[in-house]
Every structure is written in C-alpha cells, then in structure tokens.
Amino acid sequence: MIVEYVLLFLFFSIFVLFANFAEKNGVARIILYVILAGICASEMAFALLSFVVGKYLYFLTELLPKSFYYMGGGLIFSGVAGGLLLLKRVRRALPLPIDPNSTLHATGLFVMVQLSVIIVFFALAQNPIEDTGKDYSITNMELAINMLFYFIIAFLAVGFPLRRNFGETVKRLALARPTLIGLGLAILFCIILIVVDMLFSAAEAHFFPEVHHRLNEILETITLSLSKNMVAVLLFGISAGVGEELVFRGALQPRYGILLTSLFFSLMHTSLYGLTLATASTFVAGILFGLLRKMTDTTTPIIAHTLYDITVTVLNFYF
C-alpha cells in the first residue's frame, strides 16, 4: 500500500508540475495537449477492445460479463468527454469560474471528469454488498502519507513553486488563522453533518438493508483499526480534514465551483462506499464544506471536517 501511495504521489506531482509549467511555456503546452488527446484516443481503443473481447466471451459462454459493458461504456464516455474538454469553445460554454484560455484549468477539469467517469462506471460494475476480501484497516503510516500526499498536491496544483511563492500559495488556498467565529461555525456544521449522516444511514437501513449491513462491516473494520489508541483517531481526522479540504475546498472549489467539486469529492470516496446512499451523504457533506469555505476560508472547513471524522469514529466505536 505504501509503495502504491509513493508511486501515485510521484506521478501526480510530476503531472501537476508539468501542467503548471505548460501554463507559461508554449512547447510544453502543445506536448501536454498531445498527451491528453492521446489518453482520449487510448480510451476509445481500449473500449473497442473490451467490446470485442466481451463478444468473444459471449460466443464461448453465452454470457457477457456485466463488467465489459461498463468498462467499454466508461472508456468511451471518458474518451469523448475528455476530448471535448480540450476544445476552448466547449470550456467557454461551461458555467464554471474557470479561464477557458488557461491550460492549467483545462487540465484540472480534464482530470476531474476523467477520474469521475471511470470511478462511476467501475462502481456500477461492482456489487456493493459483495465481500471482495479487501482489507479496510488503516495504519498510522498510511494516514500520514495520505495527508502528506494531499498537502503537497494542493500546493503544487495552485502553482507552488513555479508560479507562486509560499505566501502567495497560502493566500490562494485561503488558509488563515482560526477565529472564534470560525470555530463556532465549524462545530455547528459538524453537528449538522452528523445529523445528515444519521438520516442517510437510517434511510439506507430501511430501503437497502443488505448494503447498510455491508457498509457497517467496512466502517467497523476501519474503526477497530483506529481504536488501538487515540493518536490513530486524531491522525485519521486530521489526515482527512487537512488533506482533503486543502485539495477540494482550497485548490479546486475556487475554479470549478461547489457543485462539481462536491460531486468529485463524493465520487473519490466510492472505493469505500460504492454508489450507495453513503455517496449521496458524502456529496451533501461536500456541499456543506463548500458553503463553509465560501462563507469563511479553507481553515474553517478543515476544522469542521476534522471534528466530524473524529466524532463519527468515536461514536461508531462506542455505539
């Protein structure tokens, strides 16, 4: 797991740095667009291949695995959507606070849409109540690396150190000293989030009891892995609160708006929940964090997110 984190970090760091460099360098901009167009073309090619393989399996077994439909459909959709986003005219027509002439904004939108589409179609191919044998326990090292990954990516994404110095980066991410008003709002939003989570959980238990039971098993595994000491619980809350809010509310929201950022935020959690009511609950949480960011700064949703994760973890353990 740690090796995967490191490799993923290196890939995204290099990619984000190059995208920032391409913002001011014409040759790098051309290379970047060629790479992105190549990704779209590759997706289309793999989509056709998945359909061919699926058809061959159908002739052999008279059964076409559902995953081939979703794999092919997802790749086609992401390839077409990604290709359209490379067109300045398309970006200009979008109701988003982005600069349609910005290579960096185009690249960020491209990555968000690509990842979102792939995540959705992959989740559709999965059975949310199936026990895949995946180990959901979390170690302190993984939490620390996860926070560091998000922290660095957030700073690199907004131009540090190529286009902004440290002070300008902190200002762009809207990081500020905590205030009493901000702390009060964070606690209030934390309480609202807990109520929202309870409502969605109750609805899922009523309408989808098997899914609810499976998600409870996953949450119980996570909770037990953190219950060994309070340091792990605090690290869990700080890791998600600081890391995720820096990226989603600090870096992405000012450019892509509350709705799109919240949708992306919720989809990035489907590795735990799949496409269930828990995803919808996470989307609502993203909206609330986004509103808190718009009302104050990024520091306040960081506090709210941290308090929420710590509180929910403790409640899950004792209740």
pLDDT tens sequence across 93-133: 999 999 999 999 999 999 999 989 888 887 777 766 565 56
Kindly report the number of other CB atoms within 10 A of residue 318's CB atom. Answer: 8
* pLDDT surpassing 60 at residue 224: yes
From the list 153, 315, 148, 134, the residue with the least C-alpha distance to 250 is 153
In whole angstroms, give the CA distance from residue 192 to residue 174: 23
Task: Please say which residue of 125, 155, 173 terminates a domain.
Answer: 125
Contact status, residue 181 vs residue 41, Cβ threshold 8 Å? no
DSSP class of residue 94?
A: S
Domain check: are 162 and 299 in the same one? yes
Helices 26-61 and 2-22, interaxial angle, to 10°?
130
Statement: residue 65 has pLDDT above 90 = no
- Shared-domain flag, residues 70 and 104: yes
Least confident of 40-49, 234-243, 260-269: 40-49
Q: Is the pLDDT of residue 74 over 60?
A: yes
Q: Are 141 and 113 found together in one domain?
A: no
CA distance 1 to 137: 11
Enter the pTM of the model.
0.91
What tokens were used for 229?
Answer: 């000491």
Per the structure, the count of domains in the chain is 2
Query: Which domain-ending residue is among 97, 125, 153?
Result: 125
Question: Nearest 5°: CA angle at 245, between 243 and 248?
Answer: 110
Distance CA 239, CA 313 (A): 13
Q: Which ranges of 62-178 would DSSP assign to H, the alpha helix?
A: 66-85, 88-93, 103-124, 140-157, 166-172
pLDDT for the residue 132: 59
Q: Are residues 121 and 138 in the same domain?
A: no
Tell me the residue range of the domain where 38 lies.
Answer: 1-125
Same domain, 39 and 147: no
